[in-house]
Amino acid sequence: MTHYRNLALALIALVSIGIAGPARADAPRADVVREVDIQARIDQRVGSEAADRQAIQNLLKRSDVRKIAGTAGLDVERASAAVALLSPMELKDIAGRVNEVNGTTGGVETVTLTVTTIIIILLLIIILAD
């Protein structure tokens, strides 16, 4: 009886190994993210955030923006210092608005929209940094 039992266990083990297939240590697993992929994603995100911060800083350095801010009584230096404190979500939102300003050209309506957008951007930076 034990002979049949051992034979059955051996047969089950062989079938299990055959179904699972041979394990290869060098085969990449689809369910595991490689360290290099994780680092590439982190670098991409950091690079994107740095580019967004730089776009905002560039906008704040423009003379027309400084003039608009001065007329509205807003402190551009305070806003500039606050850019480093923005969270990723705040940064993405404000950078989108900055890109709108940088992309607009021509017309009185565009100038009004741009001035309004610049004031909103400055206020958001100052309020969110507090």
Q: Which residues of the chain have pLDDT under 50?
A: 106-109
Closest CA to 122 of 54, 58, 75: 75
Query: Domain for residue 45, yes or no?
Result: yes
Query: Domain for residue 19, yes or no?
Result: no
Residue with tokens 């606050």: 82
Query: Domain for residue 57, yes or no?
Result: yes
Residue 91 pLDDT: 87
Query: Domain for residue 16, yes or no?
Result: no
Closest CA to 129 of 55, 74, 58: 74
Residue 108 pLDDT: 43
Residue 13 pLDDT: 62
Residue 107 pLDDT: 41
Report how many helices (DSSP H) and strands (DSSP E) the chain contains, helices first.
6, 0
Total number of domains in the chain: 1
Query: Domain for residue 74, yes or no?
Result: yes
Q: Residue 61 sits in which domain range? A: 34-129
